[in-house]
Structure 1
C-alpha cells in the first residue's frame, strides 16, 4: 500500500497527521477525500501532468492535502520557503511556471505581495481564511467531486535550492513512470527497509515543511500508513513533550536541534520520556562528533544519519553502532554508487580527498531553466554521475567522510545559505566599499553568517553601523540570510582578477 486511499480503505479513522501544538488532526479518510477533491479542482482548472502547484504555507496539516493532490495528478508540487520576501517568493512562482498557487491565510501578506509583483498563476486558493485576490480553498473543495479520477499519473516534488548567484534553482526530477497507486519515490522503499518505517510508525517532524526532507519523509510515512506529528516550529522542550505525549517512534532533526536540546537544564533532560523512540534520524548539516556522542549517551544508540540533498541523486546512511566505530562518517550508500574525483574528473584512490559524485543508472535530476548548472553538476565524462559540490573521501570499507564544501556555502542550523546573495544585497549600501560573507564556526548553529566589510573612505564604523547593515540586508532578503555580526576590515583578500579568496579569509578568522 503506497498512498492514503489504500490505508483509508482499511482503516479510515486512523490518524494520518497531528499538529502537536493544537491537537488538530486529520484521519486517513479525511486526507484521502480532501486530496481527491483538490485533485479534481486542479484538473477542472486545466492543470495537466507536468504542471506545477506552488504552495506557500507555515507548518499546517493542509500541506499534506496539497501534496497528495499533486501526487495523484501527475503534477509537481513546489513548496516555497515562507520566510522569503515577496520578490524572492514571486521569483520561484514565476520561474517554476506554476499554474496554481495555494497559500495559507497565515502568510497573507507575502501572498498578496507576490501578486503585486505581477506574478499571477491561473488558479489562486487560500485556506484557513480569506486572502485578497485568492479564492476559498474550503469552498472549492466543497463543490468538487469526491470521486477519484480514473487516470491518476504519479506526481513529484519540485523544490528550490538556493543558488550561488543569488537566485534559487528548482530541482526538477523526472516524473515517475508508474501510476499513483505504485511506488514512485525511491525514498518510500528505503525508509521502510533501512529505517523500519511502517504502519505503526509515529513520526515527529519539527522542521519547516518546505524543506525537501520533511516534505518527502512525511509523504513516505503516509505511504506506509504511519502517523505524522508536526510541530509548527522547533522548540527543544516542545519536541521532547511531543515525543512523550504521542509516543513518537521515529523523529528527524538537524544538529542544531540536538544542541538546543542538550542545552536544556539537566533535570529537564532527565525527566524527558523518550522511551518510545526507536530511530532518531539526523541530516542536512555535519554533526559535530561531540554533539552526536552526547545524544547517543542520552538517547541510546538509536541515532541514524544520512547524507543526501534536495536533488535526490543518492543517499548514504550509518547507524549509531557503526558510527561509533567510525566517528564522523556519514555512512555507506543505500542509493547510488560513490566516486571521488579530482578537479579534472579523474577517479581518486581510496582515502584521497576529492569531489563526491554519485552514480545512478539515469540522470536523476535537472535544475529547472538552468542547463549550465545541470551540466556543472555532472561528471565531465559520465552524465549519470552527479555531485552536490561536497568534498570528501571514502575509506577502505566504503564509508564516506565529508571534509568541506566546494563552494563556501554556509550551513546554519541545518539551513543552506549562499553568501553571494547576502553580498549582493550589501553591494549598494552607501557605507560599503567592499564586502565578503562567510560562515564562521558557531557552537549552536554550526556556522554563523559573518560579513566582513571594507567601509568607504571617511565612514565611521562601530555598533550603530553594524546594526544598520544587518537591518539593510533583512529589508532586502530573508532575515535568516542576514549576517549575525559585521566585522570592519581595512581590505579584503582578492586576486589580481578581483576574485575573493575566501579560503584565506576563513583561515584568518576561523578561530576568532
Structure 2
C-alpha cells in the first residue's frame, strides 16, 4: 500500500512541490494562491506563511492519520471478545464512516449526536464525524427521553448514533420531536457486537456496521477551514428550559488532548481502560489522545470493581480515569472481586475533590493517583497536582493532603488563577483568602451554543468564571473549597462543605457522603450531611455529629445527618442540587 502526499502551493506563479510519507488518496491536492504582501511575515524578510507547506489548522483528527502510518499493526480498540482492530483498520473504518455520513447529506458544520456507552463505535465516531466536516455532540446516557428531545432540537441534530441498549430511550425522544412537528434526526443503531444486528426501526434508520460498509474508502477528509471551527458540543447538566451546549474548537481539542496525556504521564503505546464515560468532555479528550500515542482503548460498558480488576489483569492496563466515587468503589470493593495489579496503574481523578483517605487507600492497592481539576467549559482537565519529589519524604497524612489539592495549570493553558470575582484581581497566596477559580487560554470553550448572553456572562472581565471557590497556597497551588452555590453561610461564617466531607470520609463506617446547607432560623444555614454507610456498618446520627465536633470547629460540624443512597450523575458526581432541595424541604432546624 502506498503512502505519499503531494502539496502544491502557487505563489506568484512559482510552483513549490513537497512530498511526505502520508496517504494521498484521502487528501485533495491543495492549490493556494497567496498574496506576499498580506501573507509574508513582515518582521523578517523572506518568511512566508503558506497553508500548503508550513501552516495548517490544528485538529486532533490529524492524530489518526499519523497513527495509521506510525502504529499500523498495533491494537487500537478492544471491545469484549468480538471486536479488535489495529490503527490501520481503525483509520480505514473512520474514512468509510465519514464517507457514509457525507452520502447521508451531512454538510460542513452539521450536528451528529451520539447516545452510547463506552463502546467501540464511540472511539470511531470521535474521528469520523469531524472527518466528515461535522460536529459531534455526545449526549449523556442518563437523560430521559424528554430531555434528549430538548437537546436534539436545540442542537438541530441531523443524525443520531444510538447504542442498541438505549434504543427505547432514543425512540421516545424521536417520538416527542415528531409529535411537535419537528423533523427528527436520522437514526443509526450501534449493534451489541460487530456480528449482532438489531432490528431496524423504520425507513429512516440504519445499522452501524452496514452504514459504515457502504462508505467509500477513497473519501477525502474534510479538514477544518479554520482551527477555530467547532469540533464538538458537550451539554452541561441543566434545565430543559435553557440547555447549555459547550462548544469546543479543533484547536482547543488538539491542545487539551496533548495536555491531558502529558499530565496523565502517558508515553508511547499506553493501554487505557475506559472507566470514564466517553461522552463526558469527549472522554477528557483521550478519545483523540490515544491515537497520538498509538495506545489501545479497552472498552468497558459496565463500570463495576470486578470488571475493572479483571480487565486490568487481562489486558495489562496502564492507565484509567474516574471520578472520586469510582475510586471509593474500588477501595471498598469485596476482596473476592479484586485481582493483583500486574504493575502500578496510573489513574486520573477529578470532578470533585477526592478525600485524602481515598487517595491513600488507592495507592495501597497499587494505583498511582493523578489529581486533576476542570470543567466541561475547559475541555475537561484544566489543572493538575504536579507532584514534587521533595514531598515523597513527608508523613502520609501530609502527603495525601497535598495530593488532594487541585494544583497548577496544565501546559496548554495560558492562565489559571484564584481571583476576586468583583474586582477581577488575584487573591493573596496565603492559603486562606477565598476567591473564584478563573481560566484564560486556548483550552477554554468557544462559547455556549446559541446563548450569547450566557457566554458573555461566563467571560466577564476577560476570564472564564468557573463558579468554584478556592484558595491559593504560597507554593502557587490551588485548593478548591467549594462550589459558589454549595458554600454554607452559618452565623456569618463561610463553611466549606469539602472540608466537612473530608472529615466525614475519615469515619470508619461511612462509605459516601455529601454536605449541603439546611435553613436555620437562628444561624441562617447549618451543615446537613447525607450519608451512606458501608455494608455491615452501623452509626447513629449523633455519633457522626460528635465525630465531626471532635475533628472540626463546632460551628462547622453538621447539625443534621440523613442516611440514604446519594444521587449521582452518569460520570459519578454526586448531585448536590437534589440534596439541597431535600434539605430545604426539611424546613428550618430551629
TM-score (norm 1): 0.74
> C-alpha separation between the residues in 1 aligned to 2:429 and 2:211?
58
1:136 aligns with 2:207: yes
Q: Match of 1:8?
A: 68
Q: What does residue 72 of structure 1 align with?
A: 131
Number of the residue aligned with 2:559: none
> 1:307 maps to what in 2?
373
Aligned pair in 2 of structure 1 residues 62, 318: CA closer, same or farther (>3 Å)? same
Is 1:125–2:203 an aligned residue pair?
no
- Residues 346-374 of structure 1, C-alpha deviations (whole Å, 9 max, x = no match): 42222310111112269632111222222
Deviation sequence 1:153-181 (CA, Å, 0-9, x none): 276221110126764311012343xxxxx
- For residues 387-431 of structure 1, what are the alpha-carbon distances to aligned partners after superposition, in whole Å with 9 as ceiling and x for unaligned? 22101011111101000001249999xxxx9x9xxxxxxxxxxxx
**Contact 2:126/2:287 (CA < 8 Å) preserved in 1?**
no
Q: CA deviation at 1:137?
A: 2.8
C-alpha distance in structure 1 between counterparts of 2:137 and 2:585, whole Å = 43
- State the match for 2:164 in structure 1: 105
What residue is the counterpart of 1:329 in the other structure? 405
In the other structure, the counterpart of 2:472 is: 394
Specify the alignment match of 2:383 in structure 1: 316
> Judging changes above 3 Å, is the alpha-carbon distance between structure 1 residues 439 and 228 closer, same or farther for their aligned structure 2 residues?
farther
Deviation at 1:242, TM superposition (A): 0.9
Query: Hey, what's the Cα distance between the residues in 2 that align with 1:143 and 1:362?
Result: 36
Contact 1:105–1:131, Cα closer than 8 Å, also in 2: no
Tell me which of 340, 343, 349 is aligned to 2:418.
340
Counterpart of 2:375 in 1: which secondary structure? coil
The answer for the alignment partner of 1:463 in structure 2 is: none
CA distance in 2: counterparts of 1:72 and 1:253, whole angstroms? 28
Tell me how far apart the structure 2 counterparts of residues 266 and 52 of structure 1 sit (CA, whole Å). Answer: 45
* 3-state SS in 2 of match to 1:3: helix
CA deviations over 1:420-459 (Å, ceiling 9, x no partner): xxxxxxxxxxxxxxxxxx98444689xxxxxxxxxxxxxx
Q: For each residue in 1:230-259, what CA deviation from the matched residue of structure 2 results, as whole angstroms up to 9, or x when unmatched?
A: 210210121111111110111112111111
Cα deviation, 1:443-476, whole Å, max 9, x if unaligned, reads 689xxxxxxxxxxxxxxxxxxxxx9xx9xxxxxx
Give the superposition deviation at 1:23: 5.5
**CA displacement at 1:324 relative to structure 2:** 3.9
| Corresponding residue to 1:194 among 263, 270, 281 | 263
1:226 paired to 2:304? no
Out of 349, 360, 364, the residue aligned to residue 428 of structure 2 is 349
The two structures, once aligned, show a CA RMSD in angstroms of 3.7
Which residue of structure 2 lines up, in the alignment, with residue 364 of structure 1? 445
Aligned residues of 1:244 and 1:276 also touching (Cα < 8 A): no
Alignment partners' CA distance in 2, 1:489 and 1:122: 40
Instruction: Name the residue aligned to 1:162.
Output: 237
Q: Is the 8 A contact 2:117 2:163 kept in 1?
A: yes
Quick check: 1:18–1:25 contact (8 Å CA) kept in 2?
yes
* Pairwise CA distance, 1:482: 10
| 1:268–1:175 distance in 2 versus 1, CA, 3 Å | closer
Q: Deviations over 1:265-295 (max 9, x none)?
A: 45765xx222333422111221011111221
Per the alignment, in what secondary structure is the counterpart of residue 95 of structure 1?
A: helix
Structure with max Cα Rg: 2
Deviation at 1:26, TM superposition (A): 2.6
Show the counterpart of 2:312: 243
| CA separation of 1:317 and 1:439: change in aligned 2, threshold 3 A | farther
Aligned partners of 2:585, 2:375: CA distance in 1, in Å? 38
1:116 to 149, 171, 175: 175
After superposition, give the CA deviation of every residue in 1:178-227 in whole Å (9 maximum; x if it has no partner): xxxxx952123223433332432001111332212626223211232100
**How far apart in 2 are the matches of 1:136 and 1:164?**
32
Q: Please, which runs of 5 or more residues in structure 2 have no aligned partner?
A: 1-59, 192-197, 392-398, 488-496, 502-513, 517-526, 535-563, 567-573
CA contact (8 A) 1:59 1:232 kept: yes
State the SS of the aligned residue for 1:204.
Answer: strand
CA distance in 2, matches of 1:165, 1:106: 24
Q: Aligned to 2:385, what secondary structure does the other structure show? A: strand
Distance 2:188 2:335 in 1: 47
- How far 1:484 moved relative to its partner? 8.2
- Equivalenced residue count is 432
The residue aligned with 2:93 is 34
Given the superposition, is the C-alpha separation of residues 110 and 44 from structure 1 closer, same or farther in structure 2, using an over 3 Å criterion?
A: same
SS in 1 for 2:151: helix
